[in-house]
Amino acid sequence: MGEANPLLHFLFVSFPGQGHVNPLLRLAKRVAAKGLLVTFTTTIEFGSRIRAASQLIFPTESDSDLIPVGLGFLRFEFFNDGADPKNSIKDLSYLMTNLETNGPSALVDLIRRQSAAGRPVSCLVNNPFIPWALDVAAELSIPSAVLWIQSCAVFSIYYHFHHRLANFPTDKTLKTLVQLPGIPPIAPDELPTFILQSNPYKSLTEAILAQFHNISKARWIFSNSFDELEHETLTVFAEISPIIPIGPLVDVGEELEQEEIKADLWKSADHCLDWLATQETNSVVYVSLGSVVMLPANEMAEFAYGLRNSGRPFLWVVREDVRGLLPEGFEKAMDVEGKAMIVGWSPQQKVLASKAVGCFVTHCGWNSSLEAITAGVPIVAYPQWGDQVTNAKFLCDVYGIGVRLTAPATRETVENCVAVAVDGEEAARMRNKAETMREMARKAIAVNGSSDRSIEIFIDDVRKRVAGDGQSSVD
């Protein structure tokens, strides 16, 4: 591919959400590692929360701090969208409106500061929910790319829905089976919930679909997936709108050891790794429902007693904002028994890499799903909304590495699903499939793997454009 030009400067612009920032930051690190300068940005309010939780990567408040990553450097510089932190955290509609109103001018100012500092932006990369970033790039004649942070199958579903290229359920056709090329038939209760008539989060639907209005302005559309995982979907969809898999965007090997370059909003309880090291191989049930899901108190109780009744050691991530929903005295009882650990946040990739973990009870967010796939860990799927329900279908029915926990969970169903995922012939079958997928995922992101080559081609393409060569190598 040749040596990367050290003057190339990539600007990664993220929507201020945990599930958006993490994959984009991981892509930023991989691009920087090729010998480039990468600036990562999001709102200043979200950035301050990242700084508070990740002091190791922010030695000072200076925007000039360079963090070595592989052969290149990563830096952080946040933009001020003028949002009220109290409103932006709780009200998605307020956040979206404010970003759309103030974000473009703030981003233009940030880009101009880069030029004034002698590091003009060579390419802009953004993720969903901030489609206006593509408009800014186009106005400033900067080539741009979009990172789709969900599966290619979900991208295809939304794309077909937005452009009305297929029949979807309506109030009059509630049982319509959705038939899309390259994807198994999808039942209504397996579709992303945001496109259903019953969806109460209309602002989310609008935000998701808005990105398809101007996505043609992006020179590259990337997906956090890999060819070997979604080959048929990618092949068929390439005839409609080419999408380039560059995932899984999961830290492995040396990347995992340098995981302090992350964007968690909460400080992880790293001491849980020491506890995991004392447990037997494939014995621990790891439970985490992500950064947003909030179960009601009765369901938390059912989970608690189901995990306890399983008789297996478990590591359960219970955020501080939902800690009070645990049954009274439960955490203290678990401490006394010594067979479980409850933490506010975990270093999830390192947890899943532990040989002690036997299965992962997850909400099936795409980031968590890919982390489980890359670690080779069977799944107990408990999706809540959005693409999670579609991911659960693929994890259980297509990839064959998971068992579905039906909602609402009861202590009996929690206990039974854990048993299926950890013990017996079915567990062995799922683990074997998970191990096979683990190897495919790691080969994809290894040097000269399918996803690694796509990143190299992308960088070469940008280099040619900066040098004034209009010929593209990603056609």
Run of H or E including 22:
helix 18-32
Which DSSP category does 253 fall into?
A: T
Q: In what order do the strands lie in the sheet with 9-13?
A: 67-69, 72-76, 37-41, 9-13, 123-126, 144-148, 220-223, 244-245
**Three-state secondary structure string covering 322-372:** HHHHCCCCHHHHHHHHCCEEEECCCCHHHHHHCCCEEEEEECCCHHHHHHH
Q: For residue 438, how many other CB atoms are within 10 A of its CB? A: 18
The continuous run of DSSP H or E covering 244 comes out as: strand 244-245
Residue 135 DSSP symbol: H
Long-range (24+ apart) CB contacts under 8 A made by 177-184 are 180/156, 181/236, 181/237, 182/156, 182/232, 182/233, 182/234, 182/235, 182/236, 182/237, 183/153, 183/156, 183/157, 183/232, 183/233, 184/397, 184/398
Give the three-class secondary structure for 406. coil
Contact status, residue 367 vs residue 23, Cβ threshold 8 Å: yes
**At residue 127, what are phi and psi to the nearest 5 degrees?**
-120, 175
Q: Which of 9, 20, 160, 363 is catalytic?
A: 20
Measured CA to CA, the distance from residue 241 to residue 158 in angstroms comes to 13
Q: Which amino acid is at 417?
A: C
At CA 328, angle to CA 324 and CA 329, rounded to 5? 115
Q: For residue 245, which of 151, 334, 154, 312 has the smallest C-alpha distance?
A: 151
Which residues touch 198 (CB under 8 Å, ≥6 apart)? none
C-alpha 291/C-alpha 278 separation (Å) is: 27
Nearest CA among 96, 98, 107, 114 for reference residue 138: 107
20 as an active site residue: the answer is yes
Q: Do 379 and 352 touch, CB atoms closer than 8 A? A: no
Q: How far is CA 461 from CA 123, 140, 419, in A?
A: 10, 18, 50
Active-site amino acid positions = 20
